[in-house]
Amino acid sequence: MTSITPQEIKQEFLKSKMGIAGITILGILVATSIIAMVAIPVETFQEWNNPGNWISNPKVAIPIWVNIFMTDKIPEHKILEDPLIQNISEGEVNLTSHQFGVNFDYDEFPNDFIYEFSSEYSGSPLLQMTVIRPDGIKLDLLTTSLPYSDGKTKHSERIFSTDDAIKKNLSLQSDTFEFAFERISAEDVVFSKIQSNEPLKGNYIFSIDLYGINSENQIQESNLIIGGKAFGIMGTDELRRDLAIGLLWGTPLALFIGLVVSIASVIMGLLYGVYAGYKGKKTDETMMRLNDVIYALPALPFLIILSVTISNSIFVMVGFLMIFGWVGIAKVSRSMSLQIKTRGYVDAATMMGQKDSKIILKHIVPQLLPYAFASIAISVPAAITTEAGLSFLGLGDPSFPTWGQILHDANTFGAAARGMWWWIMPPGVMIAITGLAFVFIGNALDAIVNPKLKR
C-alpha cells in the first residue's frame, strides 16, 4: 500500500473514463431523487398502497409512448379536470353546465368513460348528461334526479358508462345507427361510426347539465375520465398505480439504503479492524475470532429469518444489512493496520506517549481512507440488490415503493406471464444502472488505491 493524497486521488480519478461514467450516472440518479422529492406530492408516497388513491387511473395500462411504434393507435387514458362552466337562469329555472372537450384520434375504442362529481344543492335537481359527436349527432346519455333534500346538502357520485340507464338511453336512439348494438358496450356505441361499429375520430363534447330552481345549486368538483389502454410515461400496474411515480420514489430510497448501509458498514469495519491490528496479541485474536464467527454466518438466510421474526421495517432491514456488511472490511483493515503500525512515525508517536485512540485516528485511519472510499462505492450495489432480493421475496417493507417491492408486486400478479414488460423491466433496469454507477466509481478508485490493478 502506498500513501496517496486526496488531491492525487482526484487527479487520477478524473483521468479515468470509468470513474467519469460512474459519477455521471450517479449525478443523474441524485438529480432524479431531488426531482422526485420536490416535484411529486408526498401524498403519492404515503398513499402508495392505498387503492382509493389511484381509482381514477386505468388498470395495467401500457406507457403512452408505445403508441409511437404501433400501427394502430390505442386510446390514451385521459382525466379531464377543467370543464367549461356556464351558469344560465331562465325564470325560476337555473342551469349549471359543465362541458368537456375530448379529441379522440385512436384506432380502438376506449375502455369506458366515467363522470365524477360532487354537488351542493337543495331540493331534487335534475342532472342530464349528453355528448355531441364529431359528426354533429347529439346523444342523450343520462337523465336523473339527485337525491331529494329539504336543506342544503352535498352529494358525490360516479357515473359509469356501464350504468344500465346509459345503455337504455342509447337503445332508445338506436335508429341513429345503421347496425345493431344490443351486445355492444355504451362506450363502443358513443365512439362508433354511424355506418359500422368502428371508432369515429374527431372532437367530442361531453356536457353535464344541472337543472334546479335554486340559484345556489352548483357542481363543485367535476372530472370526466375517458378510460384508455395507455397511461403515463411508465404505465400502470394491477392496482392502477402510476409506475413512473413508484420508480421515481424508488431512486432516493435505493440511494438511501445503499449509501447508509455501505458508509456505516465501512466505518464499523475500518475502526474494528484497525483497532484489532494495532492492539495485537490477545485483543487481536479475540476480535478476529468474533469477526470469523459473524463472517461464517450465512447472511441471506439470517436476513430472511430476522425479517420474518423481528420486523420487515426498512430501517430495521438497514440495521441488519450493517451487521453483516462490516466483517470483510474489518479483515482487510486489520492487515493494513499491521503494516502501518510498524512505520517510524507510529513508533515515534507511541514513544511520545500519545493515546492509542489518537494514534489510530490520526496516524493509521487516514492512511486507509482511499481504501475506505473505494469500499463504500463497491458495497453500495450489494446493499441495494440485497434489499431488492428480500423485497422480491415478500420480506421487504410494503409501505415503501422500492424497486424490489415493485418487482414483488409484479411477480404476485403474474406480470411476466401476462406480458406486462413495463411492470418488470424498468425497476430491474434501475437496479442495474444504480449498481453499475457505483461499480464504475469503486473500480476507478480501486485502481488508484491499488496500483497493481492498473494496466
Confidence of residue 114 (pLDDT cuts 50, 70, 90): very high
Can you name the residues that pair with 76 across neighbouring β-strands?
230
Q: How far is C-alpha 372 from the chain's CA centre?
A: 31
Q: In the prediction, which pLDDT does 4 show?
A: 67
Helices (H), 16-159: 17-39, 42-46
What's the CA gap between 92 and 81, in Å, rounded? Answer: 29
Query: pLDDT tens across 264-294, in order?
Result: 999 999 999 999 998 888 888 999 999 999 8
39 Cβ contact list (under 8 Å, min separation 6): none
User: In angstroms, rounded to a whole number, what is the distance separating the alpha carbons of residues 144 and 125?
Assistant: 9
Query: Which residues lie closer than 8 Å to 47 by C-beta, 6 or more apart?
Result: 53
pLDDT at 106: 92
Q: How confident is the model at residue 204 (pLDDT cuts 50, 70, 90)?
A: very high
User: What is the number of other CB atoms lying within 10 angstroms of the CB of residue 279?
Assistant: 16
Task: Mark residue 394 as left, alpha or beta (left: phi above 0; alpha: psi -120 to 50; beta: remaining).
Answer: left
Average pLDDT for 124-135: 92
Residue 451's pLDDT is what?
Answer: 59
**Alpha-carbon distances of 398 from 33, 46, 314, 434, rounded to whole Å:** 20, 11, 9, 21
Give residue limits of the domains in the chain: 6-48+241-453, 66-227
Beta strands 138-145; 149-160: pairing state: unpaired
Distance CA 213, CA 90 (A): 10
Q: Quick one: average pLDDT of 233-262?
A: 92
Share of the chain above pLDDT 70, in %: 97
Q: At what angle do helices 365-392 and 6-15 cross, to 10 degrees?
A: 50
The percent of residues in the chain predicted with pLDDT above 90, rounded, is: 42
Q: Nearest-CA neighbor of 239 among 19, 57, 420?
A: 57
The grid cell for 152 is: 342544503
Rg (CA), the chain: 32
Measured CA distances, 439 to 7, 33, 248, 384, 433 (Å): 22, 20, 22, 12, 10
- Kindly state the helix (H) or strand (E) to which residue 95 belongs, with its residue range: strand 93-104
Structure confidence at residue 34 (pLDDT): 92
Phi and psi, residue 220, nearest 5°? -90, -50
Q: Give the separation between CA 66 and CA 106, rounded to whole angstroms.
A: 13
DSSP 361: I
pLDDT at residue 423 above 60?
A: yes
Res 130 pLDDT > 90: yes
**If phi over 0 gives left and psi between -120 and 50 gives alpha, with beta otherwise, what is residue 58?**
beta
pTM, two decimal places? 0.82
β-partners of residue 25 are none
pLDDT at residue 214 above 80? no
Asked if the model's pLDDT at residue 122 lies above 90, the reply is no
Is pLDDT above 90 for 141? yes
Q: What is the average pLDDT score of the chain? A: 88
C-alpha–C-alpha distance, residues 432 and 113, integer Å: 39
**Confidence (pLDDT) at 365:** 87
pLDDT digits (tens, 9 = 90+) for 61-110: 999 999 999 888 999 999 999 899 988 887 778 889 999 999 999 999 99
Classified by CATH at the fold level, domain 6-48+241-453 comes out as MetI-like fold (1.10.3720)
Q: How far apart are the C-alpha atoms of 182 and 167, rounded to whole Å? A: 9
- Please tell me the predicted confidence (pLDDT) of residue 143: 92
Domain 66-227 = CATH 2.60.120: yes
pLDDT of 390 reads 84
Q: Which amino acid is at 233?
A: I
For 317-361, write each residue's pLDDT tens digit. 888 888 888 888 999 899 888 888 888 888 888 888 888 888 888
